[in-house]
Amino acid sequence: MNFLAHLFLSGKDQDTIIGNFIGDSVKGSDFNNYPVSIKNGILLHRKIDYFTDNHPTVYKSKIRLRPKYRKYAPVIVDVFYDYFLAANWGKYHNEPLNTYTQRIYSILTNQKQIFPEKAVKMLPYMIAGNWLYNYKEIKGIEWALKGMSRRTIFNSNMEKAHIELKRDKKQYQKEFNEFFPELINYVKEQGIEL
């Protein structure tokens, strides 16, 4: 899952939110360098990724993209799924998306001194571009994928992937709708209160 889903699936605990947000930036056993509550968020991030990466419905989304985007297909699916979460936010959360994202930005900003360098550098761009809120529009997804494409080592073609979302939107929506409730249940089984 991408940023919005990871943050949403962190529930209400601020340390879990912080840990889940920095999860991709914390490598190997470096999670042991953090307080237990943040460490739990990092480990939750890894569990969410494992569950997602091994889910048969998510595989259907990835396989559709793989011929054109090869190893970047899973990354693109993560971004597509954030689009469906943001576009249908009211179905999953009572707080309006814009209010939620501003609150999350505040939580992250207040704790950025403990972030790994990669996350510290990214946060201002995320806030300035209001990434989390803008995921609700295909234009926001296009912008996010273009930014990711610029940071890849190999030619990824991710900057064009929004075209796939427009073309096969119903199919990706169906797969997201099948998968995401199962992911929510899995996270709740981990003790997270959403």
Write the DSSP assignment of 81-111 as a string of letters. HHHHHHHTHHHH-SS-HHHHHHHHHHHHHHT
Q: Cα(185)–Cα(94) distance, rounded to whole angstroms?
A: 18
- List CB contacts of 125: < 8 A, sequence separation 6 or more: 131
Maximum Cα–Cα distance across the chain:
45
| Backbone φ and ψ of 52, nearest 5° | -65, -50
pTM (whole model) above 0.85: yes
User: What single letter denotes the amino acid at residue 119?
Assistant: A
**pLDDT lower than 70: segments of the chain:** none
Q: What is the pLDDT of residues 93-140, one digit of tens each?
A: 999 999 999 999 999 999 999 999 999 999 999 999 999 999 999 999
Q: Say what the pLDDT of residue 154 is.
A: 81
Q: What is the pLDDT of residue 120?
A: 95
Write down the pLDDT at residue 189: 97
